[in-house]
Structure 1
Amino acid sequence: MKMNQEELGHLVFLSEVVLSGRKKGLMEETLQCLLYIVKSLEEAELPDSVIAEMNSLMEAIEHELRIENDRVKEIEYHLNLHRQRKV
C-alpha cells in the first residue's frame, strides 16, 4: 500500500504541530509513524543541507544517550558499592 502526497503532507503537518507545540504526550505516536516510513525506505535522496542538519541532530542524540548511559552506569556502580558494604 502506498501513501500519497496528501497523506504524507498531513503526517508532516501533524509532526510539526507536535514538535513545535512540544506535545510530549504525542511524541511517541509521532515518532512511531515516522519510523514506519523510514524503515520502509531502502534509501532517500535529500538535499545536502538536510543531510548536514540530520547528521548534526543525530550526533546530538548520540551524545545525550551516551551521557545518560554513563550516568546509569555510575548510579549502578554506587548502588553495588552500597550493597557490598551492607553485607
Structure 2
Amino acid sequence: MGVPFEALLPYGIMLGMFAFSAVSVGKLKEMQNGGKKTRRGMDAWDRVMLERDRRLTGFARGQTDKAEAPPGFELNNPWRMEQRYI
C-alpha cells in the first residue's frame, strides 16, 4: 500500500526550511567576512593577525598592500595597560 503524498508534504516543507536557513546563515557569514569563507580552528596568533588587519583596514578580513601604516595607527595600540596600584 502506497503512502499518500499529502503525508510527505510536512517533511518536504521542513526539509526546505532547513535547507533555506542553512544557506541563509552561510551566506550571511560570508557577507560578514567580506565575501571570504569563514575561518575555522583559529588560534591566538590568527586572532592577533585579524585584530591587526581590522585596525589597519577597518575590516577584520581586510588586507592592504601599503607599506606604511595609516596616520594615527601608532596611537592605536592593541595592548591593554594594567591599572597600577598606588
Q: TM-score, normalised by structure 1?
A: 0.37
Question: Over alpha carbons, which structure has the higher Rg?
Answer: 2
Larger helix share, 1 or 2:
1
For CA contacts below 8 A with separation 6 or more, give which structure has more relative contact order.
2
Q: TM-score, normalised by structure 2?
A: 0.37
